[in-house]
Structure 1
C-alpha cells in the first residue's frame, strides 16, 4: 500500500509541476485550449504518466484514500479515480465487458440539479443531460444513454461506485475542490418528471459501511471552524487563540480535546530562527537588481540564475515551480523592493492558517484548516541557530543515538543535514534535468529546546 500511495503522490506532483510550467509559459496556446491543467493532463497522457490509464478500475483505486482532496478534475483522471474531464459519470463501455452492458465506476456530484439531494450517507443523484454553457438546469428530457445507462446497469449488477463531491473553495485556483468520499451502492434507478418539468433519470446511492469518515464532512467542519475563529469565537478545547502572541501574520491557535497536556504553552514562541552572533553581510560583486528596477522574475536576475536556470523558482502566486535542494532568494544587498519582489517568498512570514492540535494517534501535530496548494510556502523551522561543530551538539548527538532517536531529532536539535531529499519527487516532471547550482552543506543545527515555533515544537514531543 505504501508503494502505490507513493506512486499516486508522485503522479500528482508531476501534474502540478507541469501545470505550473504551462501556467507560467502560456505561449503556443490555442483558442479554447489554453487551460494549464488540461495541457498538463494531455502531456501526462502522451507521456504515459497517468496511473491506470489502460484499465478501468471498478471499486477502490490503489493508493487513493477516502478523504483525499483534488484541486482539478484533471487530477482525478491522472490518478485513475474518474475517467471524464467534463461528464459527471465515469463508466466502462459495453464493448469492454462480456455482458455487453456498460457499468458506471465513478460520479462527480456537485448538487447542480434541482432534484439532487445529499445527506452524506444517502445521495439522490440526477443523471446527465444537455445543459446551458453557463450552467443551470438541463433544457431537454434525459435519456438512459451513455453514463445514465451505465449507472442503471451498476444498479442492476450491484457494482459499487466511487463518489467524488465537488465543493466551492475560495482558496483553490479555480474556486473548486474535489473530495473523494468512498464507495456507494446504487440502490435504485428511476425515470420520471423532475422539478424542472423535464423527464430525469434519478439514482439513489447509499454509502457502504466500514469506510473512513466522509472527507466532505471534514471539509465542511474545517470551514465552519475557520469561520468561528475569524469571528473571534473560541471553540471548545482551544487552549489559546494565538500561541505566537501576534508574532505571526496569522494567529496560531492550540487545540486539545484529548487530555490535559499544556506543554506547547511552556515554550517561548520564535517566529524567525535567530543566530547567536549575526554575521556581517558579505560584499557582493555581482549585485542583483542594483538599481531596484530589474524584474527579479526575469532570467537576468543574478539570484534567479543561482537557482539553476529554467526561469524563476516561484510562480506568480509564490508557489514553488518544482522541487529544488535549495532556493536562493533576493536579500538585504539586493536593490529590489522587499514587499513586492517575486523572489522573496519565505521572507513574507506565514500566510496559511495552521493550528497545533493534540490527537490520540500522533500526540501533538500541526494541521491546516483549508486547502494549501502544492509548492506553497508554509513556514520556517525556527529556533536558536547553533554551529554544527558546537560541543553541545556533539554531546546531544551521542546521547540521542544511544536512545535511538530519529535522524532529524537530536536531543532538542533539528539537523537540516539529515532531512531526506523529498524534493527529488518533484524534481524534473518529465522535463530536461535541472541544472542546480552547487550549494554548501549546512554547517548549523537548530536548537529548539527552549525557543521554537509550531513546526519545531511538535517533532520533539516524540
Structure 2
C-alpha cells in the first residue's frame, strides 16, 4: 500500500479501545481507509487482534455482511466467527476452528477489553445509497457459543454488548430482531461476579518461563499455603540417577519442558485454590509437569490432591512443588498424565507430565484424576 510505504498512515500501532481522532459515527468508503486511520489494520480479515500479557485478544471487528451477522439493536450485536464460509473462500463450507481471530474474540471475554465495531449493516450511506463502513463504538464480548451455521457446519457465535455512555451520531438502519444465542457451551464474562484482582504477578518468582499469577476476589485476603516453589523433581539422597534415556512414550521432552501455557491460581466455586488456564489449550497439548519430592509411599506425606503414585513411591508436593500442586481432582478431568523419562534412565520413576485431554477454553479450571 502506497500510503504505508510513504509512512502516511495514522495510528499504526495496534491498540485497544478508542483510536485518537476517530469518533463514533465516522464513516468510511472502503476497508483501506480503515487501515489508513488505524481503526482496523486487517485489509481482508474481519477480526483484528494484538498480544497482551501473552494472550491474543481482539481489538476490532468489521461486519461487511459476508457472514450471517445480526445487529438486533444498536446495543447488542451477534458476530459470526471467521473461516469455512463459501461466500468468502472458494470451495466447500467447513467447520470453523478456534484459532486466529476466533480465539482472540474468545480471549476477549476473559480479558474484558472492549472491541471496536465497524459495520455496514447499520449507519451511514453515501449520496448514491451505497452503505459505508460506520464506526459503531466500543462493545464488550460477553458470550460465545458453537452452533450449526447456515451451511450446516459448526460456527462460533459471539454476543457483543455496547458500552454505555457512548454517543449516537447516526441513525441505525436495517436492524434485525434482538440477538439471541442458545444456552449451550457458553462462556460468560465474570463482571457479574465479584471482580478478581491480581494479588501476585508470579508465584514462581521468575523460575517459570511464563509467569504464574495469583488472582483473588477484592474482598478475599486469604494467602496461599506455605511451600517452596521448585521446577525440578527432588529425589531422595539414597537414590542414584542412571544415565538419561529416551522418553517412555518416545517424545522429545527434556529438562526445558515447563508450563506450556499461561496459568493462574484462583479460588473455585467451592472456595478452594485451583489452577485456571488464561488461554485456549488444544487437546493433546502439554500443560505442565507435576513437580514435588519423590518419597516412599506411606505415612501422611501424601495429602489428598497433592501427590501422584509412582511405582511404590509418591511425588509429594506438600512442602515443595510447582503450580500443578493446586490442580484439583475430578471424576471427569480435562487433563491426563503421561509418563516420560528425560534426565535419567530409570523407567521406574518417570516424570509425570500433564496434557490436555480435551480442548480447554480460556478461563477454565484444570482438573486431574488422582485415582
Category of TM-score, reference length = shorter chain: 0.3 to 0.5
Greater share of helix: 1
TM-score normalized with structure 2 length: 0.43
Greater share of strand: 2
TM-score normalized with structure 1 length: 0.35
Report the structure number with the largest CA radius of gyration.
Answer: 1
